[in-house]
């Protein structure tokens, strides 16, 4: 029997209160990420920074109801209940924080489902960024969007061949043709390479995937769309990260599909270079502009 809306709202509020001020992310080990494909529903905790938990917004019981109907039909015919896993992050003091899939989890809870499929990820944390910057020997960096540029937003004509068996079973993403050469060129010129993604990938998963394609990166900031609870601690963390980047890197290149922006700390303004080309010519145009920037610096 499903709990009433009020009862479930009270349950969400109690979970938020329970972990408020004490909940924090923890690294999940490789074994845990690889083999924990299902977890008990009551070990998953709603994210207090998500609108799902806001009293003035709260969960959509229309969406939950649609999922409940699918679950009951699947149970009736003994079919798989869920098409995709709920994305979670291991947390302290216990359990897992929901990153994406609150309504599916809520429907499972209300239908009495004991376990739910999950994908456990290790998002980039402030300590990861601090460690990378502290160990860096360079004062220059380049930043790119992982999804738009490295994965080419799913445009398969621009991608390299899939990884061979058995690695291709684990790493299904393919990277853009030309990316390894661009990264190699930048690394030789003394740039730290930083990738950003709004997706909930594990930090180490992306670094290993790129290594298999001979594309070295220094830092991967994952889950940039992750919602953080608005408090002094999180505000201070964001401020510290910005300060770290500003203090360590004298020069920054920002590359996207349309151009390259070159900034130097302490100088007003920036240089902008347009990339007026077809997507298939983008790697060549990027290399051409990068070489021009380096020649201009030498003058």
Do 114 and 153 have their domain in common? no
Q: In terms of residue numbers, what domain contains 203? A: 126-298
Do 110 and 132 have their domain in common? no
Do 34 and 132 have their domain in common? no
Alpha-carbon distances of 132 from 88, 135, 149, rounded to whole Å:
24, 5, 22
* Coil vs helix vs strand at 34: helix
Do 171 and 288 have their domain in common? yes
Last residue of a domain, one of 104, 120, 136: 120
CATH number at residue 16: 3.90.1530
Last residue of a domain, one of 87, 105, 120: 120
Number of domains in the chain: 2
Residue 295 exposed, middle or buried by CB count within 10 Å (0-12, 13-18, 19+): exposed
Last residue of a domain, one of 120, 139, 158: 120
CATH number at residue 260: 3.40.50
* Coil vs helix vs strand at 185: helix
What is the full per-residue pLDDT of the chain (299 aa) written as tens digits?
Answer: 466 788 999 999 999 999 988 888 999 988 898 888 899 999 999 999 899 999 899 899 999 999 999 999 988 877 777 888 999 999 999 999 999 999 999 999 999 999 999 999 999 988 899 999 999 999 999 999 999 999 997 788 999 999 999 999 989 999 999 999 999 999 999 999 999 999 999 999 999 999 999 999 999 999 987 766 677 777 788 888 889 999 999 999 999 999 999 999 989 889 999 999 999 999 999 999 999 999 887 76
- Give the end-to-end CA distance of the chain in Å, rounded to a whole number: 75
Task: Give the integer Cα–Cα distance in Å for 30 and 154.
Answer: 27
Query: Cβ of 269: how many Cβ atoms within 10 Å?
Result: 7
Short-list 249, 265, 254, 251, CA closest to 134: 249
Strand order in the sheet with 259-264: 219-221, 191-196, 140-145, 251-255, 259-264, 271-274
Do 29 and 106 have their domain in common? yes
The answer, yes or no, to whether the previous bond of 93 is cis (omega within 30 of 0) is yes
């Amino acid at each position: 029997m499903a709990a009433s809306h009020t009862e479930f709202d009270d349950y969400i509020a109690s979970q938020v209160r329970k972990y408020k001020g004490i909940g924090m992310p923890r690294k999940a080990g490789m074994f845990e990420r690889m083999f924990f494909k299902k977890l008990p529903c009551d070990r998953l905790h709603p994210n207090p920074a998500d609108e799902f938990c806001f009293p003035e917004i709260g969960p959509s019981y229309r969406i939950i109801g649609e999922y409940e109907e699918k679950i009951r039909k699947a149970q009736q015919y003994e079919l798989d209940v869920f098409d995709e896993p709920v994305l979670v992050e291991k947390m302290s003091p216990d359990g897992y924080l929901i990153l994406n899939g609150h309504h599916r989890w809520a429907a499972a809870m209300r239908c009495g489902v004991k376990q739910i499929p999950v994908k456990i990820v290790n998002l980039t944390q402030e300590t990861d960024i601090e460690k990378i910057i502290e160990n860096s020997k360079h004062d220059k960096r380049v930043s790119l969007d992982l999804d738009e540029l490295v994965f080419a937003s799913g445009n398969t004509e621009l991608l390299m061949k899939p990884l061979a068996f058995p690695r291709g079973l684990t790493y299904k993403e393919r990277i853009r043709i030309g990316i390894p050469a661009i990264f190699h060129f930048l690394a030789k010129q003394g740039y730290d390479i930083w990738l950003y993604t709004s997706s909930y990938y594990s930090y180490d998963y992306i670094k290993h995937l790129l290594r298999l394609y001979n594309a070295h990166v220094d830092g991967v900031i994952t889950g940039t769309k992750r919602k953080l609870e608005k408090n002094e601690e999180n505000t201070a963390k964001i401020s510290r990260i910005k300060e770290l980047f500003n203090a360590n890197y004298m020069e920054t290149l920002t590359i996207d599909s349309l151009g390259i922006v070159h900034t130097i700390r302490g100088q007003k303004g920036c240089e902008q270079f347009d990339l007026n080309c077809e997507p298939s010519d983008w790697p060549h145009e990027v290399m051409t502009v990068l070489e021009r920037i380096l020649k201009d610096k030498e003058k």
